[in-house]
Amino acid sequence: MTGSGPTAWLVTGARGQLGGDLLAVLAGRAGDDVTALGRTELDLTDERAVRAVVRGWLAAAHRSGRRPVVLNAAAYTAVDAAETDEDTALLVNGRAPGWLAEELAGHGRLVHVSTDYVFDGTATEPYPVDAPVAPRSAYGRTKAVGERAVTAAGGDATVVRTSWVYGAHGGNFVRTMAGRALAGAPVSVVDDQVGSPTWAADLAAGLVELGARPGPVPPVLHRTDAGAVSWYGLARAVYEELGADAGLVGPTTTADFPRPAPRPAWSVLDGAAWLAAGLPAPRPWRAALHAALPHVALQGWPAR
């Protein structure tokens, strides 16, 4: 997709954690048109409905003279539930991105959000964009299918992998830890899983810039906040930022908290391709956390 000018945006998963921040970023773009679709407006398990909605939206975008861009932030993200509901997860995470990509091929751009769970989590260095995909969970397998479907469609599309996303909308680890910190409650957190915490608002800004960029875009990119930490280290940081006693946070191991779906021990993604594409450099995760907490934490966060 080439050229510049007003853009028509279609945001799937618009009522979710990332979707809410995408809409906030898009609200500041004068002249653009935004269509926001949540689960009630678009059933991603229904191929006929998905294709019909996209075709109708594309026709309207072209009539208006706007460049069509879909930001696919919709996903089946219940990682443990996917272990026994993989068929549904496959439709949402695997098949639906392919339907979107096929309808957009030759007509518009797709920015599809994926995950570190497509990797096996056994690395010790950040995963580059061309690292072999080897998911260990149903969630990861279905997201990998979605990546392949987007690529196979052959259109103007980018898969953007991210990890450890938290935001002001919906439940997430940072919000949970903020609640415990404000209550002065102790908590045990795993210290043997490492990743890059990513503020949804920062991620959303980057995805919109990628979507609006004229000319070709890379097929796969990684976008997280910079740096790496364990879940234990992140929890301590939340307590510290809120002025709570970080000594209340204790380390534990994954083995002590077994879950139905295996979690990657290493979720750090290499962002070199993102920078090489000329996209904005992410800020360090701790700086992003500091900026995010007034928006993410529960009421009662102390102003400082």
More confident residue, 279 or 302: 279
Asked if residue 288 is part of any domain, the answer here is: no
Return the residue matching tokens 């102790």.
186
Asked if residue 250 is part of any domain, the answer here is: no
Asked if residue 158 is part of any domain, the answer here is: yes
**Residue 192 has what pLDDT?**
97
Over the stretch 126-165, which tens digit does the pLDDT of each residue have?
999 999 999 999 999 999 999 999 999 999 999 999 999 9
Return the residue matching tokens 């709570």.
244
Range of the domain at 124: 7-172+196-226+268-283
Task: Round to whole Å and give the CA distance between 267 and 263.
Answer: 9
Q: 85: which residues sit within 8 A by CB, 6+ positions away?
A: 76, 78, 138
139 in active site: yes
Asked if residue 117 is part of any domain, the answer here is: yes
Asked if residue 114 is part of any domain, the answer here is: yes
Asked if residue 182 is part of any domain, the answer here is: no
Asked if 117 and 173 touch (Cβ cutoff 8 Å), the reply is no
For residue 33, with 0-12 CB atoms within 10 Å meaning exposed, 13-18 middle and 19 or more buried, which class applies? middle
Asked if 116 and 139 touch (Cβ cutoff 8 Å), the reply is no
| CATH code where residue 93 lies | 3.40.50.720
User: Identity (one letter) of the amino acid at 295?
Assistant: H
- Helix, strand, coil percentages for the chain (3-state, nearest 5): 40, 20, 40
Query: Which residues are 226's β-sheet partners?
Result: 284
Read off the tokens for 93.
């995470």
Over the stretch 227-259, which tens digit does the pLDDT of each residue have?
999 999 999 999 999 999 999 999 999 999 899
Q: How many domains does the chain have?
A: 1
With 90 as the cut, is the pLDDT of residue 302 above it?
no
Task: Round to whole Å and give the CA distance between 173 and 232.
Answer: 11
The active-site residue out of 76, 117, 139, 239 is 139
